[in-house]
Amino acid sequence: MKLRQLSFSDRVIVELDKAITTVVGQPETTQRQVPGSELIEDSALTSVEQRQSAGLMRVNHSGEVSAQALYQGQALTAKLPEVRQAMEQAALEENDHLVWCEDRLKSLSSHRSVLNPFWYISSFAIGAVAGKIGDKWSLGFVAETEKQVVKHLDEHLEKISSHDVKSRAVLEQMRDDELHHRTTALNAGGAELPTPVKILMAITSKVMTKTSYWI
């Protein structure tokens, strides 16, 4: 039996469901094992180290909420089916990161950012606009986003305590995945973004990281 192709309105409903599960529920994942789950328990963290780890993991969790929204927004408006499929697959892998970060936050007796609904709506809108402009720019936006995410992850790996081996394992796997997403986007025809756009993206990212660390 031939499956009915989803209409645009159908896809909007699907995306709304994904938004709800991303922000407040349990999103669909690839079922990969949580990095570091096979490791022994962390060495005892000091209160300062625990707060630092929690703040950084909260930033990364919010970043994954934004990444999820960005990919879903682009998938909604992408013109080529293969680009839409690539966005959806990347979104699924970003959900792994989302669940890993939340799992680690719970282990650190901390919480998600209360600003996550705002980050989701903003990023979804940006992704939808990028996808509407054209697939090469949409893919270029993904490539630049992942480049900046990798930079943040490198900074976090330098800041986080060496005693927090489980958080480090999560961040290292996330970094590998983000590099792969960037390469995939470039190989699929992603265009180099204009410098002013890159600067604006960096400023926006800095605002998110500064606020999500505390709130």
Binding residues for Fe cation: 64, 94, 97, 146, 178, 181
How far is it, in rounded angstroms, from Cα 138 to Cα 132? 8
In angstroms, the CA 79 to CA 133 distance is 10
- CA 53/CA 126 separation, integer angstroms: 29
Please check whether residue 167 is in contact with residue 156, taking contact to mean a CB–CB distance below 8 angstroms: no
185: closest CA among 98, 101, 100, 74? 74
Residue 121: how many other CB atoms lie within 10 Å: 14
Q: Report the distance separating Cα 28 and Cα 99, nearest Å.
A: 9
CA atoms of 155 and 112, how far apart (whole Å): 20
Contact 42, 164 (CB under 8 A): yes
- Residue positions forming the annotated binding site: 64, 94, 97, 146, 178, 181
